[in-house]
Amino acid sequence: MPDVNEIRLGSINGTHGLKGWVKVFSYTDPLEAILDYSPWILRKGGAEKEITVKEGQASGKRLIVQLEGVDTRDRAEDLIGYEVHVGIDTMPDLEEGAFYWFQLEGLAVRNSGGEVLGQIDHMLETGANDVMVVEPTDDSIDKEQRLIPYVEGEVVKQVDQETGIVTVDWDSDY
């Protein structure tokens, strides 16, 4: 079970070449940012291992990565299917008022009128702006899923991590 002090940043989904390189699908933006974090905590089922990144580079929409102690194709194949996690404490601090997506997930969403619209399930990147996927909860005004743009100042009025509430300028009938 993942630790709450960790975040999943990608997964290993193939091998590259004969010298132990692995193909990594990265959730970071840009893709190469995952290489800035080390060590990686690899998880698959009940198995877990900590491993250091030696080097890596972009290869299309994926990365190819050389990991410490993985120097053959067979060893690389053993890592296929592992998820890549890192400790939250290894992530850089953000400016005041900025948040990582995982910090928003699970927060309640209320509109300016005080109506509970639901809870942030996850975030989507659309190109124009990020979007909060808000799922209904028992306290919600209805059972509708909402897609609410994450536009600070215009739509998102306040994010209060202490109370766990995001206040938005969003009518309940949108």
Instruction: Provide DSSP, 127-173.
Output: SSSEEEEEE--TTSSSS--EEEE--BTTTEEEEETTTTEEEE---TT
Q: Look at residues 89, 115, 133 and tell me which one is the last residue of a structural domain.
A: 89
Q: Do 15 and 76 share a domain, yes or no?
A: yes
Q: Do 141 and 77 share a domain, yes or no?
A: no
Structural domain boundaries enclosing 164: 101-168
Confidence (pLDDT) at 11: 95
Count of domains for the chain: 2
Q: Do 11 and 83 share a domain, yes or no?
A: yes
Confidence (pLDDT) at 19: 94
Q: Do 22 and 70 share a domain, yes or no?
A: yes
Confidence (pLDDT) at 74: 96
Q: Do 13 and 43 share a domain, yes or no?
A: yes
Q: How much is the pTM?
A: 0.67
How far is it, in rounded angstroms, from Cα 83 to Cα 29?
17
Confidence (pLDDT) at 2: 43
**For position 138, which CATH number holds?**
2.30.30.240
* Mean pLDDT, 10 residues at a time, the chain of 174 residues: 72 95 90 90 93 91 92 96 90 82 92 95 86 96 95 93 94 84
Q: Do 154 and 80 share a domain, yes or no?
A: no
Q: Do 29 and 79 share a domain, yes or no?
A: yes
Confidence (pLDDT) at 53: 95
Task: Examine residue 96 and state whether it is found in any structural domain, yes or no.
Answer: no
Confidence (pLDDT) at 135: 97
Q: Do 120 and 58 share a domain, yes or no?
A: no
Q: Do 140 and 79 share a domain, yes or no?
A: no
Return the H-helix or E-strand segment holding 50.
strand 47-51
Q: Look at residues 44, 65, 89 and tell me which one is the last residue of a structural domain.
A: 89
Torsion of CA 36, 83, 68, 14, to 10 degrees: -110
Q: Do 16 and 79 share a domain, yes or no?
A: yes
Task: Examine residue 120 and state whether it is found in any structural domain, yes or no.
Answer: yes
Confidence (pLDDT) at 24: 95
Confidence (pLDDT) at 4: 62
